[in-house]
Amino acid sequence: KYYQLSSPKSLGREWFENEFLDILDRHELSTEDKLATVTTHIAKQVSNVISNSENASIIITGGGAHNNHLISCISKELSIAPTIPANGIIDFKEAIIFGFIAVLRIRNEVNCLKSVTGAIRDSSSGTIFNP
What pLDDT, in 10s, does the model give residues 11-48?
677 777 887 888 888 888 899 998 998 899 889 988 88
DSSP designation for 63: G
pLDDT tens per residue across span 70-84: 999 999 988 788 899
- Looking at the chain, the whole-number percentage of residues with pLDDT higher than 90 is 29
- Rounded CA-CA distance 22/77 in Å is 26
Does 53 score more than 80 pLDDT?
no
Tally the C-alpha atoms within 13 A of residue 85's C-alpha that lie toward its C-beta.
14
Phi and psi angles of residue 127, each rounded to the nearest 5 degrees, phi first? -125, 135
Confidence band of 101 (pLDDT split at 50, 70, 90): very high
- Rounded CA-CA distance 27/23 in Å is 7
